[in-house]
Amino acid sequence: MIEILVVEQIKQVSVGLSFIIFPLVFVFAFSGHKGLLKPRMLGPSELIKRARNARFLQFGHVLVLLNTSLLIVAAIHFMNLLSRGPLAWAGLVGCAMAVMGAIFLAADKGALCLTMSALDTIPDKQFELMQPGLLAMFSKKGWLVLLWGLLLLPIGFAFQTVALISTHTLPSWQSILFLIGVLLVGVPDGIEIVNLSASILMAAALIPYGIQLISAAL
């Protein structure tokens, strides 16, 4: 019996830590983008140029890739919170979309970000010869079009959050801040000041909740 209680404590503490860490990772990652105060839409060629030899940016993207596992934990937790109420179906559908979106987000960071870190090891002349292929990648040609599936992540979380608001499962202020943040965090590349602001809103909503979960477990 004691062992079961310890396991449950560890699980709840882990979930609480997930809610603390994942928004902070987004805050860190988006703060590492250049031109935060000069937002503008960026095309594929500009994204390639920005990613070239941008070690801090690439480190942030590696953290985002690892962060997708915490996003899945959060989606499952929200599904469990809604599982016994009238909107259990919304929790399930939202979780399914968010998990798929998290998988596509990890694929996006692997395909376009980890790849660029490898290409930093080759000379500029060879890199220039690869421009046609890189443009095809950053334009999401071929099967890379599936990377647009990462939009399922904010949509899924928004779906769950509306259900949380409707059922009063979480305090309204936390749910509303998270809903606003999760809807704005998917703004396109080049307007990272909006993404950063959205991440701060998510952190303001979720960090207290994570601390609450940890405190209840200890």
Judge contact between 91 and 82, C-beta under 8 A: yes
Q: Please state which of the ranges 43-57, 101-115, 204-218 shows the lowest mean pLDDT.
A: 43-57
Write down the pLDDT at residue 4: 65
Q: Rounded to whole angstroms, what are the CA distances from 191 to 35, 36, 111?
A: 9, 7, 21
Write down the pLDDT at residue 70: 96
Total of domains in the chain: 1
Write down the pLDDT at residue 2: 63
Domain that holds residue 145: 2-217
Query: Which of the four pLDDT bands, split at 50, 70 and 90, describes residue 35?
Result: confident
| CB contact set of 205 (below 8 Å; sequence gap of 6+) | 23, 173, 174, 175, 177, 178, 181
The model's pLDDT over 167-199, given as tens digits with 9 standing for 90+, comes to: 998 898 999 999 999 999 877 777 788 889 999
The model's pLDDT over 132-158, given as tens digits with 9 standing for 90+, comes to: 999 999 999 999 999 999 999 999 999
The model's pLDDT over 80-120, given as tens digits with 9 standing for 90+, comes to: 999 988 899 999 999 999 999 999 999 999 888 888 899 99
Q: What angle do CA 132, 134, 135 make, to 5 degrees?
A: 65
